[in-house]
Copies of this chain bind each other. A is one copy, B any other.
Amino acid sequence: MTNSYKKSNTHCSDCSTKTCFVQQFCVTTWVGIINQSRNHSLYKKGQHIFREGDRVFGLYFIQRGKVKVVSTGLNGREQIVRLAADGHILGHRGFGSETYPVGAVAMEDTQVCFLDNATLEDVFINNPKFTYGLMMFYSTELRKTEVRLRCLAQMTLREKIAESLLTLKKIFGVNEEDGTLNVTLSRQEMADIAGTTAEQVTRELTNFENELLITKQGKKIVLLNADGLFNIIATHNVNKYFAV
């Protein structure tokens, strides 16, 4: 937990993460101010960025990396409620309240920027577009979460796992050359997304492989036929969610 916070070499205005809210929604002078105030930090794979129950001191911005947002339930069983990549925001859930209701864990080495509450207050006041952008972000996340809620409630196991694979493709993308998913996760993590058990994930991935929908290359997964996977869930009215 003794994480070495430090200034990044890069100035916010030179940051390569163009989807960062700071660059997108803040006026020029404020990009400079924020650059001064922010803390930059690196989290190793598997490391917690924050835990459920931690006090909320501000907002995290993912500069580069992959993060899972988890909610822990019965007997420590985890549910992944969101996946986040470059430019996404973390920690907003607890924002304004006292403690985080969810935890965030780096799925690979991840660089994040942190803005404390005091700075944020100033940013909100002086950059209305930032507040507006954040509101839109929440609205979109809410919409997506509601669709996922229905998926988990109504889909069969097979459908949930197909849906998870497509979600992973959408968020992290696939390698242009060989079609492998740009993310590596354990069977248990896939189960934590789909809301099932690791054994079931194995079974269904084997089925998908036999149906030539995917290939398993060790831990890497290749989506051979994304349209075929989508057909599995097409009757569930998830089109809007995936059509972007």
A binding-site residues for B, Cβ under 8 Å: 52, 71-75, 77, 79, 81-82, 92-97, 99, 101-102, 124-125, 128, 131-132, 134-136, 138-143, 145-154, 195, 235-237, 240-241
A150 contacts across to B, CB distance below 8 A: 71, 73, 79, 81
**Contact assessment for B82 and A146 in the assembled complex, using a CB-CB cutoff below 8 Å:** yes
A134 contacts across to B, CB distance below 8 A: 135
The chain B residue sitting closest to A151, CB to CB, is B73
Separation of A52 and B132 alpha carbons in the complex (Å): 25
**Contact assessment for A149 and B145 in the assembled complex, using a CB-CB cutoff below 8 Å:** yes
Q: A73-B237, A125-B128, A132-B124 are in contact. Are A195 and B153 (CB under 8 A)?
A: yes
Q: Is the interface of A mostly helix, strand, loop or mixed?
A: helix
**Mind listing 23 A-B residue pairs with CB under 8 Å?**
A71-B150, A72-B237, A73-B151, A73-B236, A79-B154, A81-B150, A92-B142, A93-B146, A96-B136, A97-B143, A101-B146, A101-B241, A102-B146, A125-B128, A128-B128, A131-B132, A134-B135, A135-B135, A135-B138, A138-B142, A141-B142, A142-B142, A153-B195
Separation of A128 and B136 alpha carbons in the complex (Å): 14
| Min distance, Cβ A216 to any Cβ of chain B, angstroms | 24
**Of B75, B135, B136, B236, which contacts A74 at CB under 8 A?**
B236
Q: A102-B146, A128-B131, A146-B102 are in contact. Are A96 and B195 (CB under 8 A)?
A: no
Separation of A147 and B52 alpha carbons in the complex (Å): 12
Separation of A96 and B142 alpha carbons in the complex (Å): 13
| Min distance, Cβ A181 to any Cβ of chain B, angstroms | 22
